[in-house]
Chain A
Amino acid sequence: MTTRPTAKDLRHMLAWVVGLVCVLALLATPAQGLTTDRTTAAPNQDGGRNVIGGEPTRITWVGTVEEGEEVTGITLLFPAGCELSDDSYVKVQEMDMSDPQHPLHNERSATIDLTAARLIVELDEPIPAGNLLYVEIYKFCLPPVSGQVIITGTYTDASGASHDLTPSPPIDTIALTSTQRLINDLSEQEWVKAWNSVKFLNIFVNPLWIVASIPSLFFGWLRSLGLVLLGFPLAIPVGLGISFLRMSRFRLLRFVSSIYVNIIRGTPLFLQIYIAFFGLPLLGIKPNDYLLGVLVLAMNSSAYLAEIFRAGIQSIHKGQFEAASSLGMNGVQTMFFVIIPQTVRRVIPTMTSEFILLFKDTSLLAAVGVMEQMMFAKTLVNTAGNMTPYVIAACYYLIVTLPLTRIISVFEKRLAASEGREAPPGDKDKMTKRVGLFKTIAPLSATDSEPLDATTPERHSSA
Chain B
Amino acid sequence: MTTDRITGTKTSASTGLRAVVRIEGLRKSFGSLEVLKGVDLEVDRGEVVVILGPSGSGKSTLLRCVNLLEKPTAGTIYFEDSCITDSKVNINHIREKVGMVFQSFNLFPHLSARANVALAPRKVLKRSHEEADRIAIEQLEKVGLGDRVEYLPAQLSGGQQQRVAIARALAMDPHVMLFDEATSALDPELVRGVLDVMRSLAEAGMTMIVVTHEMGFAREVADRVIFMDDGIIVEQGSPTEVFDAPQHERTKDFLGHIS
Contact = CB atoms under 8 A, between A and B. Distances in A.
Given A327-B96, A424-B185, A426-B185, A342 B124 contact: no
B185 A328 contact: no
Given A319-B104, A342-B108, A425-B158, A337 B95 contact: no
A424 B95 contact: no
B103 interface: yes
Given A326-B100, A327-B169, A419-B154, A448 B69 contact: no
B108 A338 contact: yes
B110 to A, nearest CB: 5
Interface string A323-347: 1111111100100011001100100
A337 B154 contact: no
Contact of A326 (B98, B161, B184, B185): B98
Contacts of B106: 317, 319-320, 322-323
B56 to A, nearest CB: 11
A443 B147 CA distance: 40
A151 to B, nearest CB: 74
B88 interface: no
Contacts of A425: 158, 187
Nearest to B188: A426
Interface hub of A328, A419, A424, A430 (most chain B Cβ within 10 A): A328
Interface string A287-330: 00000000000000000000000000000010110111111111
Given A326-B67, A333-B124, A425-B158, A430 B108 contact: no
Given A421-B154, A427-B185, A326 B95 contact: yes
Interface string B129-162: 0000000000000000000000011110010010
B185 A322 contact: no
B72 interface: no
A87 interface: no
What range describes how many residues of B lie at the interface?
35 or more
Interface of A: 317, 319-320, 322-330, 333, 337-338, 341-342, 345, 418-422, 424-427, 430, 434, 448
Interface in B160-203: 161, 165, 168-169, 172, 184-187
B108 A328 contact: no
A319 B102 contact: yes
Contact of A345 (B100, B110, B120, B168): B110
Contacts of A420: 154
A446 to B, nearest CB: 14
Interface string B106-120: 111110000000011
B98 to A, nearest CB: 7
Interface of B: 67, 69, 92-96, 98-100, 102-110, 119-120, 123-124, 152-155, 158, 161, 165, 168-169, 172, 184-187
A320 B108 contact: yes
Given A322-B69, A337-B119, A448-B109, A328 B187 contact: no
Contact of A327 (B152, B161, B168, B185): B168
A426 B123 CA distance: 33
A272 to B, nearest CB: 36
Contact of B123 (A337, A345, A418, A421): A337
A426 B186 contact: yes
A329 B123 contact: yes
10 contacts: A320-B106, A320-B108, A322-B100, A322-B102, A323-B106, A326-B100, A327-B119, A337-B119, A342-B110, A448-B109
Nearest to B108: A338
Contacts of A324: 108
The SS class assigned to the A binding surface is: helix
Nearest to B67: A326
B95 A327 contact: yes
A424 B186 contact: yes
B212 to A, nearest CB: 15
B103 A325 contact: no
Residue from A323, A327, A434 with most neighbouring chain B CB atoms (10 Å): A327
B185 A430 contact: yes
A325 B95 contact: yes
3 nearest CB pairs, A to B: A328-B96, A323-B106, A327-B120
Contact of B154 (A319, A320, A327, A418): A418
A327 B102 contact: no
B169 to A, nearest CB: 7
B29 to A, nearest CB: 15
A434 B184 CA distance: 14
A297 to B, nearest CB: 31
B187 A426 contact: yes
Contacts of A333: 123-124
